[in-house]
Amino acid sequence: MSTPRPTIGITTYGPEGERDAFSLPRYYTDAVAAAGGMPVLIVPSAVSVEEVLASVDGLIVAGGGDIAPDSYGGAAHETIYSVNPIRDSFEMSLLRRALEQPELPLLGICRGMQVMNIVLGGDLEAHLPEVYGEQVLHRLPPREPTTHGVRADRSGLFGEIFTDAEFPVCSWHHQAVRKLGRGLRATAHAPDGVVEGVVFDEHPFALGVQWHPEMQAADDARQLRVFSALVARARARRRP
């Protein structure tokens, strides 16, 4: 009998819309499945975050809309969109608890990396073009993905996963890390200096990427590797 796939919990968009529904682009679930994991969507509910984390072998905090600026001492900005206080509260509680569990591998993608930074006491730039200009486009107008290069630190966990010093990434954001949270180390940057990757060195496997590897994983083995590494850690955790 084959070994069961490790379960990888993935946070979702929402609740939102007239149907008060949760949703998630299938890129995430496809990437986890391709890496050998069993994708499981997790949502805010009456179930405690402790119970949620006890039910999964690994965790991905997904991308999506902006985080409420008052959660990190930021100011309102006209470009901030799709703020969802229910999601903010759930993911922050989830990540706080997950970061206390060294056996649980976790990955923050885009918004998920920003949530990780905020939970650890960092904050965000409200709108990148006002700070970094438009030498590097991190999204196309009005809100569409684009591609740019990043330069990565090849030491430690990040270097084990991303073995190339430079590579192209799918970018779809207008906010990013300003002040790094406690214990976070910047491990990748865009050509304009925007932080594109972080590692929490106090945890065996806790990292964030500002880009969207799930949107490249089907065609770029370098991007699938981050999911494969997460699933491998999750599988090792399950092993008796």
| Residue pointed to by tokens 């030498």 | 135
Contact 214, 33 (CB under 8 A): no
- In this predicted structure, what is the pLDDT of residue 30? 98
Tell me the pLDDT tens digit for each residue of 191-214.
Answer: 999 999 999 999 999 999 999 999
Q: Which residues contact 119 (CB under 8 A, 6 or more apart)?
A: 92, 95, 96, 99, 181
Q: Show the tokens assigned to 18.
A: 């007239």
- In this predicted structure, what is the pLDDT of residue 238? 75
- pLDDT category at 239 given cuts 50, 70, 90 is low
- What value does the mean pLDDT take over residues 162-189? 97
Tell me the pLDDT tens digit for each residue of 21-61.
Answer: 999 999 999 999 999 999 999 999 999 999 999 999 999 99
Tell me the pLDDT tens digit for each residue of 112-145.
Answer: 999 999 999 999 999 999 999 999 999 999 999 9
> Rounded to two decimals, what is the model's pTM?
0.97
Active site residues: 110, 212, 214
**Which is it for strands 7-11 and 58-61: parallel, antiparallel or unpaired?**
parallel
Tell me the pLDDT tens digit for each residue of 154-166.
Answer: 889 999 999 999 9
How does DSSP classify residue 202? T
The CATH superfamily holding the domain 7-238 is Class I glutamine amidotransferase (GATase) domain (3.40.50.880)
Domain boundaries, the chain: 7-238
What is the percent of the chain with per-residue pLDDT over 90, rounded to a whole number? Answer: 95
**Which of left, alpha, beta for 113 (phi over 0: left; psi -120 to 50: alpha)?**
alpha
27 φ, ψ to 5°?
-55, -40
- In this predicted structure, what is the pLDDT of residue 81? 95
- pLDDT category at 240 given cuts 50, 70, 90 is low
